[in-house]
Amino acid sequence: MPLAAGAQSLDASATGMQRIGQFEIDRTEVSIGQFAAYVAATGAVTEAERQGGQTYESGWQRRAGWHWRAPFGTPGGPREPAVHLTHPEAAAYCRWAGKRLPTDREWGEAAYTEHRVSPPQPWIAGRSYRYPTGDHPSGANCLEGCGQVATVARAVTSRGRGHAEVGRSAAGVNGLYDMGGNVWEWVDSGAGSEQRTRGGSWWYGPEAMRDDHVQTKPATMSAVYIGFRCARDARP
């Protein structure tokens, strides 16, 4: 089932968190504006700010000046997703915000199974979907095969059109934005030097958005197409 025709982009009523059983998850990926508030409060300096952000051009490259403030080397807007962040850096933001990274299981539950009791059409309560956007990948910001989503950074790499502002695509399963495509999202995979990313990104096609597609990366890695969102235990 594709996204409903005329689905609306993010507005003030769509911000915040969505309850999924015993936990809550951010409706959107963490934005540059949100991460800036954390940096202003803590003075945190990221690895990419020190050493340059990573992108892939015939092999991984570090580029000075590419970091969460300037994802593609020029200042990003406050509603762009915060990228070029390692797994520990993403987790530190979530702790500061009174939250945590979602576990891999939680992320999958939120992305693919509709938990709202009375969801709007075309969603069906209790149903699991192939993609975070429904039965089809339409409406996501992916490399190709998802339709067109307005992005903020075009032709800045040899591949893809860059990311979109958070929440600019249509809402998907559970009313969440960009669980498929846009940027990969760090999840808590447990202890270890390798951590999972979920959901695919603008660099990949629809296959990376499926539940059975999981990538593992060094926790110390940061890149132009990796971001995150936070979760927390549900409040009474």
68 part of a folded domain: no
Task: Name the 3-class secondary structure at 50.
Answer: helix
66 part of a folded domain: no
22 part of a folded domain: yes
44 part of a folded domain: yes
Tally of domains in the chain? 1
Percent of the chain whose pLDDT exceeds 90: 82
71 part of a folded domain: no
- Tell how strand 184-186 and strand 226-227 pair up: parallel
CATH number assigned to the domain comprising residue 182:
3.90.1580.10
Give the CA distances from residue 44 to residues 35, 89, 95, 228, in Å, rounded to whole numbers and listed in that order: 10, 9, 13, 17
User: 165 is in which domain, residue-wise?
Assistant: 17-48+77-233
pLDDT in tens, 169-210: 889 999 999 999 999 999 999 989 999 999 999 999 999 999
Question: pTM for the full model?
Answer: 0.92
Instruction: Outline where DSSP puts E strands in 36-134.
Output: 53-56, 60-63
127 part of a folded domain: yes
Q: What is the mean pLDDT of residues 209-233?
A: 97
